[in-house]
A = this chain, B = another copy of it.
Amino acid sequence: MTEKYCIAVDMGGTNTRAALINSYGEVLTKIKEHTGTDPLATLNKLIGNLYSDNAAKVYGIGLAVAGIIDSDNGIVLWSPHIQKLKDVNLKTEIEKSFKTSVVIENDANAAAYGEKWAGTGKDYKNFVVLTLGTGIGGGIIIDNKLLPVAAEVGHMSINSGGAQCACGNIGCLELYASARAIIGNAVSALEKGDNSILKDFYNGNFYKITAEDIYKTALDGDMLARAVLREAGKNLGIGIANIINILSPDAVILTGGLVGAWNIYVEPAIQEASKRAFNELYARVKIIPSSLGDDAGVIGAAALIFKTPKTVK
């Protein structure tokens, strides 16, 4: 029997990752590129690279894209970081170029599906995946199935009189707990003249500071970096408490770059959630990292192909 492959693409924002993945969830090849100003061209190029040598074995293409996705029809209704894709029927576009079926889903929903298929979620019947990166996304599994809902938990207001979000809402969780929030708060503090080792990074060009820089500096004991991460973590915990009170999951599975900062960012989140969520519900939930690491996104996109029908619909 010929082994079956799929091409799995994770288009979160700045970077687009693509991988050749087999039906056991093993990543065989992976490539990455800046999404750039022509996201469709980037997609075609990355998929083309993987497709050319493996066309006969490719069973389908799974696309995980940040934003509001009409997965039934394959259309990107809105994407926060890839605005050029608005109203594009990616399914049709990619099926035009490659002779195989294409499935498209919101990236965090795909991540939840990937967790269920090949990650930490295998052990849980009801869980929520949070993707913690530039923004914050969510995917919900109930009774082992992906809920066919937007799950835009990063755009839940936790501070109704707070700051304006680009999405139109006010006080979104993402504004207080994402990598972008962490960087923004660190840069603001540096601009005000607060003391920190970060001042000397990139010859004082604060705008080049990354979330990873902040985390590493925090590990070295930098007070500003620690405070900024802790505050963001605490806000994440407020969001997690809301999720627990609404969805009473068995687990909240965390993925994305910020999970690396577990002890300074996630631990305060867990502490805050424990104080805020209903005791009866908090007692039953585990807040844990994904086992899939950097591959969570592409594994999720692959799950769209190998685990259809993918929703309770």
Q: A143-B313, A152-B245 are in contact. Are A78 and B158 (CB under 8 A)?
A: no
A278 to B292, CA, bound (A): 30
- By the criterion CB–CB under 8 Å, are A276 and B169 in contact? yes
Give the residue name and chain of the B residue nearest to A161 (CB): B159
- By the criterion CB–CB under 8 Å, are B160 and A246 in contact? no
CB interface residues, A 223-248, toward B, < 8 Å: 235, 238, 241-242, 245-248
Question: A278: which of B68, B142, B176 is its contact (CB, 8 Å)?
Answer: B68
Q: Mark A144-171, 1 if CB is under 8 A from B, else 0.
A: 0101111111011111110000011111
Copies in the complex: 2
- The winner among A126, A169, A176 for most chain B CB atoms within 10 A is A169
- By the criterion CB–CB under 8 Å, are A168 and B246 in contact? no
- The winner among A68, A170, A235, A246 for most chain B CB atoms within 10 A is A246
The answer to whether A122 has its CB under 8 Å from any CB of chain B is: no
The answer to whether A88 has its CB under 8 Å from any CB of chain B is: no
The answer to whether A271 has its CB under 8 Å from any CB of chain B is: no
Residues in chain B near residue A249, CB distance under 8 A? 149
- By the criterion CB–CB under 8 Å, are A248 and B150 in contact? yes
- The winner among A151, A155, A170 for most chain B CB atoms within 10 A is A155
A280 to B176, CA, bound (A): 24
Question: A143: which of B159, B161, B241, B312 is its contact (CB, 8 Å)?
Answer: B312
Q: A156-B245, A157-B242 are in contact. Are A276 and B168 (CB under 8 A)?
A: yes
A150 to B245, CA, bound (A): 6
- By the criterion CB–CB under 8 Å, are B170 and A276 in contact? yes
Q: A276-B169, A280-B78 are in contact. Are A242 and B149 (CB under 8 A)?
A: no
The answer to whether A77 has its CB under 8 Å from any CB of chain B is: yes
- The winner among A77, A242, A247, A279 for most chain B CB atoms within 10 A is A242
CB distance from A275 to the nearest CB of B (A): 7
Give the residue name and chain of the B residue nearest to A125 (CB): B313
The answer to whether A13 has its CB under 8 Å from any CB of chain B is: no
A301 to B236, CA, bound (A): 36
**Other contacts beyond A142-B148, A160-B176, A169-B276: 20, CB < 8 A:** A68-B278, A68-B280, A68-B281, A126-B148, A138-B246, A142-B142, A142-B149, A143-B148, A147-B147, A149-B248, A151-B247, A155-B245, A156-B156, A157-B158, A157-B241, A158-B160, A159-B159, A167-B278, A169-B245, A169-B277
27 residue pairs of the A-B complex, CB under 8 angstroms, read A78-B278, A78-B279, A126-B149, A138-B246, A142-B149, A150-B245, A150-B248, A152-B278, A153-B245, A155-B278, A156-B242, A156-B245, A157-B241, A157-B242, A157-B276, A158-B159, A158-B160, A159-B159, A159-B161, A160-B176, A160-B238, A167-B245, A168-B275, A169-B241, A170-B276, A246-B246, A312-B312
